Amino acid sequence: MRILFCIIVAALFQSSCTPAQPARANQFVDSRDQYVYEVITIGDQDWLGSDLKYQTPASFCYKNEEENCQEYGRLYSFPEAQIACPSGWRLPTEMDWRTLEQTLGMEPAEAEAIRVWRGDQEGALLAQKLGLTFSGMGRYNGRDFMGKDQFVYYWVDEPGPSGEQFSLYRMVSKKENRIYSDQVPKMDLCCVRCVRD
């Protein structure tokens, strides 16, 4: 009966009727919300191919507009970011980021630097390989947003040098081929790009 129905639908609307396909080997389906992510392998690491979209209780859409979550992913405070990645994935550590940057060609000494633009073309390579959408960032519990389509801030699971109330981040800008590293207060809102455990 299903086959006959498909034939009729295809004839009427000149479209195909094929059953839903399972996730491919280079995809990951988040069982919590059924969102399908591409999986991108760079060196020995697997990264989700887009910014995390899972809605935690205190995550935000840019300017609190739902369509921004669909296109750009959600923005998380650091405590939310630590619990946001699905099972089998995690918030990347400082060493995860350094490994990624060095795989893209950054010198080890530069990968360790903070509060400077680091590398040469690694930011542009990262944007290309991970398909960055430049989601911006937020502050003050969702009352202030900035930078959409200009830059993206990613949480790093590492305290900042100023103390436990800060965490490191990585920033990539459309206007800069390098990668910036610094710290922000943990209650600011940044994107999450999960790495496989």
Quote the Cα angle for 12-14-16, to 5°.
110
Domain spans in the chain, listed from the N-terminal domain onward: 23-196
Rounded-to-integer distance, Cα 56 and Cα 168, Å: 21
pLDDT given for residue 110 in this prediction: 96
Tens digit of each residue's pLDDT (9 = 90 or more) over 41-79: 999 999 999 999 999 999 999 999 999 999 999 999 999
pLDDT at 194: 98
For residues 43 and 106, the answer to whether their CB atoms sit within 8 Å is: no
Low-confidence ranges of the chain (pLDDT < 70): 1-25
Please tell me what DSSP assigns to residue 104. Answer: T
Q: Write down the pLDDT at residue 24.
A: 64
Task: Please report the pLDDT score of residue 141 as a whole number.
Answer: 74
Q: Which residues touch 158 (CB under 8 Å, ≥6 apart)?
A: 93, 94, 167, 168
pLDDT at 3: 39
Give how far the C-alpha of residue 142 lies from the chain's centroid of Cα atoms, to the nearest Å.
18
Question: pLDDT value at position 17?
Answer: 36
Give the tokens for residue 7. Answer: 């034939």
Query: Is residue 68 within 8 Å of residue 148, measured between CB atoms?
Result: yes
Give residue 11's pLDDT: 42
- The pLDDT, as a whole number, for residue 2 is 40
Q: What is the pLDDT of residue 131?
A: 95
